[in-house]
Amino acid sequence: MRYAIVAVLLISNLSLHAQTPTKLQTKIDQQATSLEPKVIEWRRHFHQYPELSNREVKTAQKVADHLKSLGLEVQTGIAHTGVVGVLRTGKPGPVIALRADMDALPVTERNSLPFASKETAVFNGQETGVMHACGHDTHVAILMATAEILTKNRADLKGTIKFIFQPAEEGAPAGEEGGAELMVRQGVLENPKPDVIFGMHISSITPVGLITYRPAGTMAASDWFSIKVKGRQSHGAYPWMSVDPIVVSAQIITGLQTIVSRQTELTKEAAVITVGRIQAGIRENIIPEEAFMAGTIRTLDEDMQEKIHEKMRLTATKIAESAGATAEVNIEKRTPVTYNDPALTEKMVNSLQRAAGSDKVIRVNAVTGAEDFAFYQKKIPGFFFFVGAMPPDQDPGKVPAHHTPNFMIDERGMLTGLKAMLNVTLDYIYAK
């Protein structure tokens, strides 16, 4: 019985392995290489003129102009400034979505590059410099080039390709909605509905030439929580007259830390609970009535996420109850797990190897930061990977991190990124 099953699996596997014609692969690789100067030029333009989340007006305009010049169907104004270009081949086949994020950050650039940003803006009421300090300028340039090359090769493709240029990945300004969640709500994954979505992130701490990936949870779900502990106020000299919310809070913080260390199956996936804020009291000799704490929860698996939330509620309320206090727990789900469909990921590793070289694609650990690409993957299978752009002679521990004023990328990484996007798209089309 067992052998029979194995045989069937082998046969069905073989039949799935239709391949992109080598001639087409070679042609597209050559076109990517010859478009590299233009990719660099686009990227430098976006780098010099960065725009904050939900304010990507000129960026979106330049993207839309480019997509229209290619003759694509173009929609604008999605989730504020989002742009979608649709390439229809006229032949039956899969619908593939490719996504780039367009927003910059409230960071003042310190690099002395000829195309360094001198832009400023007001963010949360404060004057600030604006900088592409996470590399989204490279994502936009790469996807513009992907659209150009695939359009040029329309006759050799099948199905439909949607190019999604998304605003506000870093989060909408206070009081506004935005990003992938709003794009999805406004129907970016409808008419036609993609079968699959691909996205990438440039990395300033991964050597140029490398591509890294992880199946299943690759970036964490990010949830926020707050806990209000209510006790009874008294003079600091007579604690027996009080229900001390500060001592109860201290017990709750310790209790929360045992959820990850003692109650979570750590060999399955990592998890993080961080209390980042705590406030209580006004004076040395007064035990206050209330204490407040808030923090973030990071998980890489939805079941573990639910369990951790449940245990946090239980731990906080029962510890408070044991002291005669109450704890009000609020957990706000923000960004889901960036979950790479395992079967899809496995299928696409070959395509990445074609783009970067067979020894240049590395499976890595999960990242406990979050990425709103996760909202697309909640609806359809998706694959999100990382493209190295750190100059080869540098130490990843010493180069400027993402979101900092000296953030810098080695532009050669963009060609690898472009080839990766092209190869996953072609291979997905031809494997169908």
Where do contacts with Ni ion occur on this chain (CB under 5 A)? Answer: 134
* Residue among 29, 148, 169, 223 flagged as catalytic: 169
Smallest distance, Ni ion to C-beta of residue 140, A: 12
Which residues pair with residue 291 across a beta bridge?
Answer: 229, 280
Nearest one of 279, 368, 273 to 311, comparing CA atoms: 273
| 416 membership: H or E segment, kind and range | helix 413-431
Q: For residues 36 and 351, what is the distance between their CA atoms, to the nearest angstrom? A: 19
User: Three-state SS for 86?
Assistant: strand
What sign has the CA pseudo-torsion 149, 155, 158, 160?
positive
> 2 φ, ψ to 5°?
-60, -45
Taking a C-beta distance cutoff of 8 angstroms, is the pair 196, 94 a contact?
Answer: yes
The residue (of 225 and 407) whose beta carbon lies closer to Ni ion is 407
Smallest distance, Ni ion to C-beta of residue 80, A: 18
Reading the block at residue 83, the tokens are 């742009």
The residue (of 70 and 134) whose beta carbon lies closer to Ni ion is 134
What does DSSP assign to residue 239? G
Number of neighbouring beta carbons within 10 Å of residue 329: 18
Nearest one of 252, 208, 251 to 227, comparing CA atoms: 252
* Residue among 103, 137, 156, 269 flagged as catalytic: 103
Nearest position to Ni ion, beta carbon: 134
The residue (of 231 and 413) whose beta carbon lies closer to Ni ion is 413
Residue 170 is a catalytic residue? no
Smallest distance, Ni ion to C-beta of residue 136, A: 6
Smallest distance, Ni ion to C-beta of residue 97, A: 18
Smallest distance, Ni ion to C-beta of residue 96, A: 22
The residue (of 246 and 364) whose beta carbon lies closer to Ni ion is 364
Vertex 83 angle, CA 55 and 427, to 5° = 130
Q: For residues 229 and 253, what is the distance between their CA atoms, to the nearest angstrom? A: 12
The residue (of 230 and 402) whose beta carbon lies closer to Ni ion is 402
Smallest distance, Ni ion to C-beta of residue 243, A: 45
Reading the block at residue 285, the tokens are 């000799």
Residue 303 is a catalytic residue? no
The residue (of 97 and 200) whose beta carbon lies closer to Ni ion is 200
Which residues participate in catalysis according to the annotation?
Answer: 103, 169
